[in-house]
Structure 1
Amino acid sequence: MGEQNGGAYRLDEIDRRIIYSLMVDARNTSAPAIAEDVSVSGATIRNRIAQLEEHGVIEGYHATIDFEHADGSLMNLFLCHAPFGDVEGAARKIGTIPGVINVRELMGGRMNLHVLAVGTNTADLRRIGRELEQLGVDIEDEFLMQQEHDFPYTPYGPIDGSRREPLADYISLTGGAEIIEMTVQEHAPIAGLTLEEAAQDDVFDNQTLVISIERDDTVITPHGDTEIRPNDVVTVFSPSEAEKPAFEGFHDSDNHLN
């Protein structure tokens, strides 16, 4: 799981895939949809998103507006310079100018402030330019925006657009025990067996305890005659003295977790 490390929140593979999915389309991407892609439960996705928000990794969700289509407005990018040491203060002041929708601070270089503004017409954009100059900011250049494109951060997504091996979510407990949530792969040894049959066939260590099974958004309380099916999301408890990895019977025999 993602964890705090020297003041920074270290992302794990599940966190990265969540961020990638939200960058693709935060509005139309639900926790169940992300869960299906990442192969963990919807509850895990919701908990992870809450943690990412709590630690400031996800700062917010912003609507992308086409102002030209909305009311015929124009978008203008001002490339500006503020005196060294006053960039942050200038950025805050610029944010109070009506029509300014984004201010980006850059480290170094002459044009250390990029200001994105929306005006109803060219006269309105000139008014914004005058207000920038009144704040002591020099406008080095400016461009009328034609179109803007946003893309998700590729290293957080699937390799070559393909799905990776289903992931397992771990919670480490005192004494070395673990609670592990994983998705049953199609050709896993346990797929198609009841828990009683799996125990008899030594599919997993007899110390391992199946806590819950999530199937089609329904949580099943496991019993001996409960059959495990492909794509079930299974939560197991594995004590420190377990002889074999708890996930071994739930994944394809020719695959392993990295």
Structure 2
Amino acid sequence: MVDLDPTDQGILYLLQQDARNNTTSGIGEQVGVSSTTVGNRISKLEEKGIVTGYQPTIDYEKAGLDHHLLLTATAPMDKRSQLAEQALDIHGVVTVRELLTHHQNIELEIATSTRKEIEETLNELAELGLEIVRNELLKRELHKPADNFGKEVAED
């Protein structure tokens, strides 16, 4: 674990809030440091593997992928990590979460434009060796930054 000072925590909070529209100068103003310091801190957070990417949040329905499902699957324990990575390569799979449980140890999110694509994706996941134990149609998902990352620093 890496110790994060209040400046790093404030930067992480603001990046989670809106990485695309937060500039280094804007973040610097909110956390009380220069834009150069923010840029350097972000680079170090990336190098340490704390910040691993910047993915947009997509409204799949508006993008024409209105078949949006959450799946729970069971993978053999000795193949769980391998199957989780392979599942991400299947058409329609947009997120895979590997869980530390014996059963129901993989969660997947799929987004497709047709029912036929859902069926094809489910078949490919089964062929891969995942046993789908639950699937649910997703209505909406809400996100917020983790409060323990400098919310008070960013809002001062």
Q: TM-score, normalised by structure 1?
A: 0.58
- Measured in 2, the distance between the counterparts of 1:132 and 1:20 equals 35
Instruction: Name the amino acid aligned to 2:45.
Output: L
Residue 12, structure 1, aligned to residue 5, structure 2: yes
- Measured in 2, the distance between the counterparts of 1:46 and 1:119 equals 37
Q: Which has the higher contact order (CA 8 A, sep 6+)?
A: 2
Q: Look up the match of 2:93.
A: 100
- Measured in 2, the distance between the counterparts of 1:161 and 1:13 equals 9
Deviation at 1:55, TM superposition (A): 1.0
Contact kept in structure 1, 2:67 and 2:111, CA below 8 Å? yes
Instruction: Name the amino acid aligned to 1:71.
Output: G
- Total equivalences in the alignment: 156
Q: Look up the match of 2:118.
A: 125
Q: Look up the match of 1:153.
A: 146
Alignment partner of 1:85: what SS? helix
Deviation at 1:42, TM superposition (A): 0.8
Deviation at 1:109, TM superposition (A): 4.3
- Measured in 1, the distance between the counterparts of 2:6 and 2:152 equals 12
Bigger proportion of residues as helix? 2
Residue 134, structure 1, aligned to residue 131, structure 2: no
Instruction: Name the amino acid aligned to 2:101.
Output: G
Contact kept in structure 1, 2:74 and 2:130, CA below 8 Å? yes
Instruction: Name the amino acid aligned to 2:103.
Output: R
Q: TM-score, normalised by structure 2?
A: 0.94
Larger gyration radius, structure 1 or structure 2: 1
- Measured in 2, the distance between the counterparts of 1:105 and 1:32 equals 37
- Measured in 2, the distance between the counterparts of 1:44 and 1:104 equals 34
Residue 86, structure 1, aligned to residue 71, structure 2: no
Segment drifting more, 64-73 vs 28-37: 64-73
Out of 9, 22, 26, the residue aligned to residue 15 of structure 2 is 22
Q: Identity across aligned pairs (percent)?
A: 33
Deviation at 1:12, TM superposition (A): 1.1
Q: Look up the match of 1:215.
A: none
Query: What is the aligned-residue RMSD (CA, Å)?
Result: 1.6
Alignment partner of 1:14: what SS? helix
Gaps of 5+ in 1: 1-7, 164-258
Bigger proportion of residues as strand? 1
Contact kept in structure 1, 2:90 and 2:121, CA below 8 Å? yes
Q: Look up the match of 1:45.
A: 38
Alignment partner of 1:19: what SS? helix
Deviation at 1:79, TM superposition (A): 0.5
Contact kept in structure 1, 2:14 and 2:154, CA below 8 Å? no
- Measured in 1, the distance between the counterparts of 2:11 and 2:25 equals 11
- Measured in 1, the distance between the counterparts of 2:71 and 2:103 equals 13
Runs in 1 of length 4+ with deviation above 2 angstroms? 157-162
Instruction: Name the amino acid aligned to 1:99.
Output: G
